[in-house]
């Protein structure tokens, strides 16, 4: 077995190897996976996902770990979380429906979102969702009425905007005072919300919540938010803090490495003292577990175009997110030259990776693998240009199984009158 250390960096799921020039995911070669499941496809290393979920759980034994379902969710994932003893965060009625389909105990589900409709809140309350995170005064009144109507005393957390500007892309920073999320700490809204909840017989104040952003690679923002939230919770006599998700991952070999879950939890606990602590990791569990597999279709100048693109990974187009790719189906002795990996969509911005050194003999039919594709890719995938969304294939010990099947043209046409 030849392992190319330069290319099989830590960005690959743990069971990934290279043999005879081919990439093996969960013990199965890229070509075999492509033959059996087609391309593009998301190949999810089940043991890798589970190990990362476990690492979070083990890092916070006395507290709660909620998986942020928005990163990637399907009923099979819900079943894994259930088995592992993780809780689940959802942020729409749709995610709630998936949680329900996965059969998790509703008491372990927390419902987030800045504009939950009355119908969504009703679904959560009647199903018995463990906690609803209140995000506005409008919602507070709305939920109190719905809970009262159903004779339920609904546990709630109050989402607080702690006034922390996390260093990440502005589209995924959520802790600043100008955020659309939560009740402002500095303007006194958070304090008022606590008083209102305490006065509502149909609501039970369970704790305070904050989430400052995503793909964060340093501890500073987390610890500052933890410090501010701890001071506020103590002043308001609240004993439970949920400090959200946000821990980043490595997308390319050589990029900055984030703290481990254990390091982050230790830093948070230093700030929060004896308060009960909860966290909500999404990307750091799902992201590194999955590799996106594509087939090269055409080569033209610098462009190598693959059979997917911005519909299965909108992140480069939306946030300028960096990715890498490798030739997964063979080795090549050819010298490298720079390619731009483009998608098949009718937009010039439909580019997955720019200026990537790959063997100059790259050709139609070659397979490319993009690591760190498990978070915010399938969950943000669209049908732009009526492209069908790829399947998610779980691999483990040389076996593969589809946990989200490929969308078909029939699926697409089903919506039309
Ligand atoms: N909790 C709350 C309240 C959140 O809003 C989020 C993510 C999480 C937990 C999980 O955060 P994570 O551990 O995954 O960073 N689409 C963007 C990311 C948006 C994140 C939204 N909120 C992206 O592709 O980078």
Which positions are catalytic?
Answer: 346
What pLDDT sits at residue 105? 98
What pLDDT sits at residue 170? 66
What pLDDT sits at residue 59? 97
Which is nearest to 259 in space by CA: 212, 211, 218?
Answer: 218
**Residues paired with residue 311 on neighbouring β-strands, in sequence order:** none
Compute, in angstroms, the gap from residue 308 CA to the centroid of ligand 1: 24
Q: How far is CA 14 from CA 217, 294, 370, in A?
A: 21, 20, 15
68 lines ligand 1 (CB under 6 A): yes
48 lines ligand 1 (CB under 6 A): no
DSSP 168: S
Q: In this structure, is the dihedral angle defined by the CA atoms of residues 179, 90, 105 and 286, taken in order, positive or negative?
A: negative
| Cα separation of the two ends of the chain | 55
Per residue of the chain (417 residues), what is the pLDDT tens digit? 344 434 456 799 999 999 988 999 999 999 999 999 999 999 999 999 999 999 999 999 999 999 999 999 999 999 999 999 999 999 999 999 999 999 999 999 999 999 999 999 999 999 999 999 999 999 999 999 999 999 999 999 999 999 987 766 666 667 677 889 999 999 999 999 999 999 999 999 999 999 999 999 999 999 999 999 999 999 999 999 999 999 999 999 999 999 999 999 999 999 999 999 999 999 999 999 999 999 999 999 999 999 999 999 999 999 999 999 999 999 999 999 999 999 999 999 999 999 999 999 999 999 999 999 999 999 999 999 999 999 999 999 999 999 999 999 999 999 999
Kind of pairing between the strands at 326-327 and 367-370: antiparallel
Q: Which domains does the chain show, CATH number per domain?
A: 5-45+289-413 (2.40.37.10), 112-281 (3.20.20.10)
378 lines ligand 1 (CB under 6 A): no
> Which atom of ligand 1 is closest in space to residue 248's alpha carbon?
15
What pLDDT sits at residue 3? 40
Which is nearest to 188 in space by CA: 205, 170, 168, 163?
Answer: 163
Q: Concatenated DSSP letters for 252-307?
A: STTSPPPPPHHHHHHHHHHHHTTSEEEE--SHHHHGGGEEEEEEEEEEETTEEEES
* Rg of the chain taking only CA atoms, in angstroms: 22
71 lines ligand 1 (CB under 6 A): yes
- 88 touches 70 (CB < 8 A): no
283 lines ligand 1 (CB under 6 A): yes
What pLDDT sits at residue 179? 84
DSSP 286: H
DSSP 154: E
What 3-state class would DSSP assign to 139? Answer: helix
What 3-state class would DSSP assign to 304? Answer: strand
Q: Best of 114, 246, 251, 286 to mutate for ligand 1, by most ligand atoms within 8 A of CB? A: 246
Q: Concatenated DSSP letters for 181-249?
A: SSEETTTTHHHHHHHHHHH-TTEEEEEEE---BSSB-SSHHHHHHHHHHHHHHHHTT--EEE----B--
Q: How far is CA 36 from CA 30, 367, 391, 415, in A?
A: 10, 14, 12, 28
What pLDDT sits at residue 168? 67
**Residues paired with residue 55 on neighbouring β-strands, in sequence order:** none
Q: How far is CA 95 from CA 72, 90, 381, 408, in A?
A: 10, 5, 15, 22
- 227 touches 168 (CB < 8 A): no
Q: At which residue do the structure tokens 């299965």 appear?
A: 312
């Amino acid at each position: 077995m030849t392992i190319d250390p330069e290319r099989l960096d830590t960005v690959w799921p743990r069971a990934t190897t290279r043999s005879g020039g081919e990439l093996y995911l969960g013990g199965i070669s890229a070509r075999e996976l492509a033959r059996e499941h087609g391309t593009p496809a998301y190949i999810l290393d089940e043991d890798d996902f589970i190990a990362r979920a476990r690492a979070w759980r083990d890092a916070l034994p006395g507290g709660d770990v909620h998986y942020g379902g928005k990163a990637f969710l399907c009923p099979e994932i819900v079943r894994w979380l259930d088995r592992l003893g993780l809780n689940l965060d959802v942020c729409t009625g749709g995610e709630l429906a998936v949680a329900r389909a996965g059969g998790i105990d509703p008491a372990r589900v927390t419902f987030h979102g800045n504009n939950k409709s009355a119908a969504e809140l009703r679904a959560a309350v009647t199903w018995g969702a463990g906690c609803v995170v209140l995000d506005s005064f409008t919602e507070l009144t709305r939920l109190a009425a719905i809970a009262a109507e159903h004779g339920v005393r609904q546990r709630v957390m109050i989402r607080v905007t702690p006034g922390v500007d996390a260093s990440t892309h502005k589209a995924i920073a959520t802790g600043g005072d100008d955020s659309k999320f939560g009740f402002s700490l500095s303007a006194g809204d958070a304090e008022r919300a606590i008083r209102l909840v305490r006065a509502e017989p149909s609501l039970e104040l369970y704790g305070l919540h904050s989430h400052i952003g995503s793909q964060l690679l340093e501890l500073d923002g987390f610890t500052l938010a933890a410090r501010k939230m701890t001071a506020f919770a103590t002043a308001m006599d609240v004993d439970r803090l949920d400090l959200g998700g946000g821990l980043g991952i490595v997308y390319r070999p050589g990029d900055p490495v984030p703290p481990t879950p254990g390091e982050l939890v230790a830093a948070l606990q230093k700030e929060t003292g004896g308060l009960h602590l909860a966290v909500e990791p999404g990307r750091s569990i799902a992201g590194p577990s999955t590799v996106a597999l594509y087939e090269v279709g055409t080569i033209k100048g610098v462009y190598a175009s693959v059979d997917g693109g911005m519909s299965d990974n909108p992140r480069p187009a939306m946030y300028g997110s960096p990715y890498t790719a490798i030739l997964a189906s063979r080795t090549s002795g050819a010298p490298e030259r720079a390619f731009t990996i483009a998608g098949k969509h009718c937009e010039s911005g439909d580019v997955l990776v720019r200026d990537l050194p790959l063997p100059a003999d790259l050709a139609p039919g070659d397979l490319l693998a993009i690591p760190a594709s498990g978070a915010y890719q399938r969950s943000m995938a669209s049908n732009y240009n009526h492209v069908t969304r790829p399947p998610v294939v779980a691999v483990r010990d040389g076996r593969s199984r589809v946990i989200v099947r490929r969308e078909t043209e029939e699926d697409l046409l089903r919506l039309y009158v």
